[in-house]
Amino acid sequence: MSTITALSVQEAPTAAQPVLEQVKRMLGRVPNMYGVMAHSPAVLEAYAQFNNALRKGSLGAPMAERIALAAAEYNGCNYCLSAHSFLGAKAGLSEADLLDARNMRATDEKTATGMDFTRKLLAAPQSLSADDVQVLRQAGYTDGETLEIIANVVRNIFTNYLNVVAGTEVDWPEVHPLNTTADENR
């Protein structure tokens, strides 16, 4: 049940309408998450700018979608699980890749190393050390890509929390959490 309802473009504050129109042009519709964010034009604009900037990064859409799925599963966000399962498939992830991402693993070594770092960042960021960054470097990640992993995790924690608190109505093909508890993912 929604605790904060999604606003349509017409219902949104005037300052939020241009961003919603931009989202509509890009996606062909305004997903409910953006409609929820529209209650605060500042939140909507900040998210849109952060999201657009990360799209220009070198990490790539498949890895960004893997991180999004890992965070959504970890944080119990059905909205984001559903959205990123759809978007991950569009980015070229197979059904096996989608499932692996939700379990914070991957078949190739570089991606698996990135997913392990993502898991540690979600579970206990204070436990990360220079050694963890060195492991990423050895796997082939640049320092810029390491920062993009962190940024993608933070972006997804924000949307996970927002959608869980708002009870955002899922407007993507619905995906349900795995039969594991959050503690098993940590």
108-142 tens-digit pLDDT: 999 999 999 999 999 999 999 999 999 999 999 99
Tell whether the model's pLDDT for residue 184 goes beyond 80. Answer: no
40-98 tens-digit pLDDT: 999 999 999 999 999 999 999 999 999 999 999 999 999 999 999 999 999 999 999 99
The DSSP annotation for 59-114 comes to S-HHHHHHHHHHHHHHHT-HHHHHHHHHHHHHTT--HHHHHHHHTT--SSHHHHHH
Location of structure tokens 């509509």: 24
Residue 4, classed as helix, strand or coil, is: coil
Q: Which domains does the chain have, with CATH numbers?
A: 14-55 (no CATH), 61-165+172-185 (1.20.1290.10)
- 11-21: average pLDDT: 98
Contact predicate 165/3, CB 8 Å: yes
Residue 21: how many CB atoms within 10 A of its CB?
13
pLDDT for residue 1? 78
